[in-house]
Amino acid sequence: MLKELTDEKLVELAVSKDPDAFGEIMKRWERKIFALCFGMLGREDDARDAAQETFIAAFRNISNFRGEAKVSSWLHRIAVNQCLTTKRRAKTRSEEFLDDDGGESERVFVTPAHRSPANTTEATERLIIVRQAVSSLPVDLRQVIVMKEFEEMTFQEISETLELPLSTVKSRVYTALRQLRMKLERLPMEIG
Amino acid sequence: MKNANISECKFSADMVSYMYGELSESEGSALELHLVDCAECVDEFAAVSSARYEVYDWKHIEFDPLETPRFEVSYDDAVVPSWSDKLRAVFAQSWAVPAFSFAALAIVSVLVIGLAWMRSGDEEIIAENPPSQTVAVPAKDVVKDEPESLPTVGPRIEVTDQKPIVATAAKTKASLPKPHVAPKIREVPATTAVSVKGLDPKQATAKNEVKAAPTLNAFDDEEDTSLRLAELFEDLGTR
What pLDDT is stored for residue A105 in this prediction? Answer: 40
How, if at all, do strands B164-165 and B180-181 pair?
Answer: antiparallel
Q: Are A152 and A39 in contact (CB under 8 A)?
A: no
What pLDDT is stored for residue B99 in this prediction? Answer: 87
What pLDDT is stored for residue A66 in this prediction? Answer: 76
Segment A15-23 shows an average pLDDT of 85
Chain A interface test: which of B3, B16, B60, B85 (most A C-beta within 10 Å): B16
ipTM above 0.90, yes or no: no
CB atoms within 10 A of CB B82: 10
pLDDT digits (tens, 9 = 90+) for B177-218: 454 444 555 544 444 444 444 445 455 444 445 444 555 555
Of B145 and B53, more confident: B53
Q: Is B41 helix (H, G, I), strand (E, B) or coil?
A: helix
Segment A80-96 shows an average pLDDT of 84
Segment A133-159 shows an average pLDDT of 94
What pLDDT is stored for residue B227 in this prediction? Answer: 60
Q: If you ran DSSP here, which 8-state letter would residue B20 be given?
A: T
Res B221 pLDDT > 60: no
Segment A24-50 shows an average pLDDT of 93
Q: Are B175 and B136 in contact (CB under 8 A)?
A: yes
Where b means 16+ CB within 10 Å and e means fewer, A76-87 reads bbbbbebbeebb
Rounded distance between C-alpha atoms, residue B224 and residue B230, angstroms = 10
A55-60, Cβ contacts within 8 angstroms, sequence gap of 24 or more = A55/A26, A55/A30, A55/B71, A55/B73, A56/B73, A56/B77, A56/B78, A57/A82, A58/A25, A59/A14, A59/A22, A59/B73, A59/B78, A59/B79, A60/B78, A60/B79, A60/B80
Q: If you ran DSSP here, which 8-state letter would residue A154 be given?
A: -
Res B3 pLDDT > 70: no
What pLDDT is stored for residue B199 in this prediction? Answer: 47
What pLDDT is stored for residue A190 in this prediction? Answer: 59
Q: Are A180 and A145 in contact (CB under 8 A)?
A: yes
- Distance (Å) of CA B190 to CA A150, B48, B204, B205: 107, 111, 10, 9
pLDDT digits (tens, 9 = 90+) for B91-146: 777 778 888 888 999 999 999 999 999 988 877 777 777 655 554 545 444 444 44
Segment B69-76 shows an average pLDDT of 80
Domains of chain A: 1-104 (1.10.1740.10), 114-192 (1.10.10.10)
Q: Is B181 helix (H, G, I), strand (E, B) or coil?
A: strand
One-letter amino acid at B67 equals E
**Percent of chain A at pLDDT exceeding 90:** 53
Res A156 pLDDT > 80: yes
Q: How many helices (H) and strands (E) does chain B have?
A: 12, 2
What pLDDT is stored for residue A148 in this prediction? Answer: 94
Residues of A with CB under 8 A from a CB of B: 19, 22, 26, 30-31, 34-35, 38-39, 44, 48, 51-52, 55-56, 59-60, 123, 126-127, 130-131, 133-134, 145, 148-150, 154-155, 167, 170-171, 173-174, 177-178, 180-181, 184
Lowest-pLDDT choice from A53-57, A163-167, B56-60, B176-180: B176-180
Res B55 pLDDT > 50: yes
Instruction: Work out the burial of residue A33: count CB atoms within 10 Å of its CB; fewer than 13 is exposed, 13-18 middle, 19 or more buried.
Output: buried
pLDDT digits (tens, 9 = 90+) for A98-131: 655 444 444 333 444 444 555 567 788 888 899 9
Res A8 pLDDT > 80: yes
pLDDT digits (tens, 9 = 90+) for B165-179: 444 444 444 444 454
CA distance, residue A103 to nearest chain B CA (Å): 30
